[in-house]
Each structure stands twice: as structure tokens, then as C-alpha cells.
Amino acid sequence: MSLSFLVALAVAYGLPAGDVGEPPRFIARAVAVLVGVSVVTLLARWITYSTIERMRLSPPASTSPYSRYAVLRRFHGFVSLGVFILILEPIGWNSLVRHHGAWDGWIFVDELLLLTPYLGAESLSILSFYRVDQEVLRSGARRRRARPSHSQLGYLDFQARNQFGVLLLTSLFATGLYDLGELILPRSWLEHPGLQILGTSLIALSVLIASPLILRVVWRAIPLPDGSLRRELETFARQVGFRFANILVWRTRGGIANAAVTGMVPQLRYVLMSDALLDHLSTEELEGVFGHEVGHIRHHHLAYYCFFVIASILFISMLVPWLDLMTRVALGDARWYELQQWGWRAGVELGVLVPYFAIVFGYLSQRFERQADVYGCRAVSASLRRRANTPTPVMLLTPRGTNGHPAGSQSLAKQHADARQAETEKLDAVPVHPDGAEVFIQSLENVANLNGVARTAWSWRHGSIAQRVRFLEEVASDPELADRDDHAVARLRWTIATGLLVGMGTLAALDYLFVGGIAS
């Protein structure tokens, strides 16, 4: 899922509607929108052709064109987002859509129209990036001797579903519930503060419940067939007390090697593993990947993400008006009104929102990923130990006793009981064995290779494979490091939560003193 699209959603749905302007400006604004979309598309085409040329001139083993391409793709994402914000304000697409009366009473129409310039530019860009992305996947697929089989339109469908589909449908689901409430509920109910909070809470709860189902549908996931792998994963889940609805195969036609977990409620919790992952990783490596996803749940990462996002949005929504007010006081009313015409409020929101989430959420996510990596190592270590303790079938060849059972069957039953007792052991107490760490590290390396990602390539949410591997190697040589890191992550969580709550409390107190108290 795309961070740029998440920011685009927040800006598009968060901007207030300004004046629509005179009819002649309607034509000018429409032309400006087309120019903005064309700029983003032309940038994508330039990135594609320059990368293809570098690939042609570089040695076969060189990774520099791919590294440069990854940087340019991130740059393209920033440009696309910036152009979209300009299209919304000051070009005025936001005002044109919201003030037009043709779709009054229709659900989803204005929300989709608001995003049309962004989705159009990104879709055209995806078609441009097709050639390079297929070459990147082929470079990662050399060791498996497979070629991604997407056509250009199939690739657009696949990328659109994976980059935009889940967020788009989830946001439309939430706004649809809100629009439905406006259509059927009395105006007095909608304006009641208590009922507004209740309605917002019910919509948020509905989104949390529906999002796993939306993800399953959009990603076209199917249940993992019954077999030895499924039984191994289910055995591990029972071992650690992990409850879930199903293990799903994320069908990507070999395009993505990745896994995910979704769902706050066990009855709607899915673990998704892509087809490329299942085809090219060993059973032990897949157990490590599964353990990594279980680690997110066992450490309550998803629940904390929900709290963090909701609390952060509330905090920023309370902070931005004060920043806007301070700007007005510093510059004066005339200059402030002039800035407002150019989307100053949106610029302030974006200037706070993007760095905040990029830095704070990104760092938090990297620490959570590292914590889940350790859990994955422990899962493999426990699995290797369980297999080592499982009696071999050769014992059935011993002479039979008088009751018809093999001689020594009591010893066999005792060994099975010991194995079951070991399985119920709390996984957090299982030390990271070097062999378990080695298997999980190999799974990380294989995932990077299958996706055509360099070990040193940095991700704002995951860090780099090299950094993660280095930490796991340190944990394998010093098992106590994992416990110290868990304590450090716990302190980080409490620090962020305390800061958000104190910040919101302070802003609420200031609002009461200067708006509801002293000012009144």
C-alpha cells in the first residue's frame, strides 16, 4: 500500500471547500488539471526510458540501475503527491467537485471525483513503469528461472489493487456510511456533539471489522490448501495460542514475495502469504515468515497502530488551527487571507502530517518489524527443537508386547507428552538459536532476492535487509539483547502514547481557556 496515496486521501478528504470561482475559471482550472496529470505521466516516462538505457549500458551483474530506479520512483511519488495537492488547491479541483450540484444525494461520486486526478496520473505512470518493473522482477527471479506473466493491462490491475485498492475501498466504505447517515438521519441528530462522537466511533468500528474482508477480496486471496505446510503452521499457531480465521494465499502471479497479517478480531484475522513466497521458500523459512506475522499480533502491534493513527490524527487536527492562528497573528489579516487563497491551510496540514508520519510512524514501524523478526527467529528455533525431540517411526519396528502394542510404547507416549508440553511453552521464553536465526535470515535474503530488492535498499517502514540481518546476528550471539530490545520498544510505545495524550490534553485546555473560557 502506498504512503503517498494515504496522504492524498487525507488531504483530499480533509480540505474544506472554497469558492468555486467564475465560469471562465472553470475552463482554466480543467486545463490546469490536465497539465498537472501530464507532468506526472511524462516524468514517469522519462524515468522509464532513462532506466532502460542505463540497464542496457550497465554490466549484467550491476545493481546500480535498479538502485537509481528505486530512488527515482520515490521522487516520482513525491512529485505526484505535490501536483495533486496543487490541483486540489490552489487550482481548485476540490472546490469544483464539492460545489457542483449534479451528484448531490449520490454516495461515493464526489469522493471518487476528488481522487480522479491522482488516480489517473498514477495509473498512467504505472503503465509507463511496466517495462522497468518487469525487468526488476526478472532480475530477482533469475535464481528461480521464472518470468512474471502479467500483461501491461494485467499489471495495471495488479498494481492498482495492491497500491490503492484496499485504502480506496476502505475510505469509500467509511465515507459511504457517513453519507448514508446524512441521508437517513435527522439534521438535529447529526449536529448533536454526543451523537457525532458515537457515529464516528461506530464508523471506525465498522471499518476495523470490514477491513480484513476488503483486503481478502481486493487481493483475491484464497485459502492455503490442506497439506504438510498448513498442518505445520497450524501446529505452531496452537503452540503459541495464536487464533486466526484462515491462512490465505495472496495470488500475485509470482510478482510479489511477501506476507501480511490483518484483523483485530480472531474470527476475522487472516495471515496472507504470497504465491511467490510459498513457491520458493523452504518449510522452515515459511515457518519463520509465519512466526514474524504472528509476532505482530503477540506484541499487539496492530492494536497500537490503530491507537497511534487515531490519536495522531486527533492531535494534528487540534494543532493545525493553532499554527494557523499564530501565522495570522504574525503576518496580519491581509497577508493571511492572501495565503489562504493559495491553500495555506492545506500546506500547514501537509507540512505537519507528512514529516510526522514519515519520522515517528516510520521509526516505530521499523522497531516493530525488528521485534517481529526476533519472534520469527524464535518460531524457527522452537520448530527445529520440536522436530529434534519428535520420536522417529523406526521405534514401531520393535517387538510387540502382550497387549499388541509395541514394546516400549509407554516410553514413546512419554516422549510425545514431553513434546506437547514443550509446544505449549511460551515462545517468548524460547532462546534464539543460531540455527533458527540463520534460517530466518535466509528467508529475509530470499525475499529480497525474489523481489529484486538490494540488501542495502532502505524502506521507511522496514529499514533495510542488511540492518535487520545485522541485528538478528547480534541477537543470535547475545540472546539477552532480544529482551533488552523488547523493553526498549515498550518504553518507546509508552513515550509516544504519553506524548500524544499530554499534547491533546494541553491543546484542549488551551482551546477551553482562549476559545470557550477567556474569549467568551
User: pLDDT tens digits, residue range 350-370?
Assistant: 788 878 888 999 999 999 999
% residues pLDDT > 70 (the chain)? 81
Cell of 254: 509470482
Q: What is the pLDDT of residue 214?
A: 92
Over residues 32-40, mean pLDDT: 94
Q: Tell me which residue has cell 520512483.
A: 73
Over residues 205-214, mean pLDDT: 86
Q: Which of 261, 463, 289 is nearest to 377 (CA)?
A: 289
Q: What is the pLDDT of residue 194?
A: 65
Q: Is the pLDDT of residue 97 over 60?
A: yes
For residue 335, name the pLDDT band (cuts at 50, 70, 90). Answer: confident
pLDDT digits (tens, 9 = 90+) for 407-419: 444 444 454 444 4
DSSP characters for 247-279? EEEE--TTS---EEEE-SSGGG-EEEEEHHHHH
The structural domains of the chain, with segments of one domain joined by +, span 1-163, 283-390+407-520
Torsion from C-alpha of 172, 176, 182, 185, nearest 10 degrees: -150
Q: Is the pLDDT of residue 402 over 90?
A: no
Q: What is the pLDDT of residue 415?
A: 45
Over residues 364-391, mean pLDDT: 86
Q: Is the pLDDT of residue 67 over 50?
A: yes
Mean pLDDT, all residues of the chain: 81
Q: What is the pLDDT of residue 518?
A: 41
Note every long-range contact of 139-146, with CB atoms under 8 Å and residues 24 or more positions apart, other chains counting.
139/66, 139/452, 140/449, 140/450, 140/451, 140/452, 140/453, 141/254, 141/450, 141/452, 143/449, 144/279, 144/280, 144/450, 146/254
Over residues 437-454, mean pLDDT: 89
Least confident of 96-105, 175-184, 207-216, 341-350: 96-105
Report the alpha-carbon distance of residue 444 to residue 466 in Å, rounded.
Answer: 9
pLDDT digits (tens, 9 = 90+) for 38-64: 999 999 999 999 998 888 887 766 667
For residue 122, name the pLDDT band (cuts at 50, 70, 90). Answer: very high
Its pTM stands at: 0.81
For residue 336, name the pLDDT band (cuts at 50, 70, 90). Answer: confident
Over residues 372-381, mean pLDDT: 92
Over residues 115-120, mean pLDDT: 94
Q: 125 with 44: CB under 8 angstroms? A: yes
CA 274 from chain center: how many Å? 15
Over residues 286-304, mean pLDDT: 94
pLDDT digits (tens, 9 = 90+) for 461-493: 898 999 999 999 999 999 889 999 999 999 999
Q: Is the pLDDT of residue 118 over 90?
A: yes
Least confident of 155-159, 170-174, 231-235, 514-518: 514-518
Cell of 368: 516493530
Q: What is the pLDDT of residue 63?
A: 67
Least confident of 277-291, 351-365, 504-518: 504-518
Report the alpha-carbon distance of residue 487 to residue 494 in Å, rounded.
Answer: 11
Report the alpha-carbon distance of residue 240 to residue 238 in Å, rounded.
Answer: 6
Q: Is the pLDDT of residue 9 over 60?
A: yes
Over residues 90-116, mean pLDDT: 76
For residue 420, name the pLDDT band (cuts at 50, 70, 90). Answer: very low
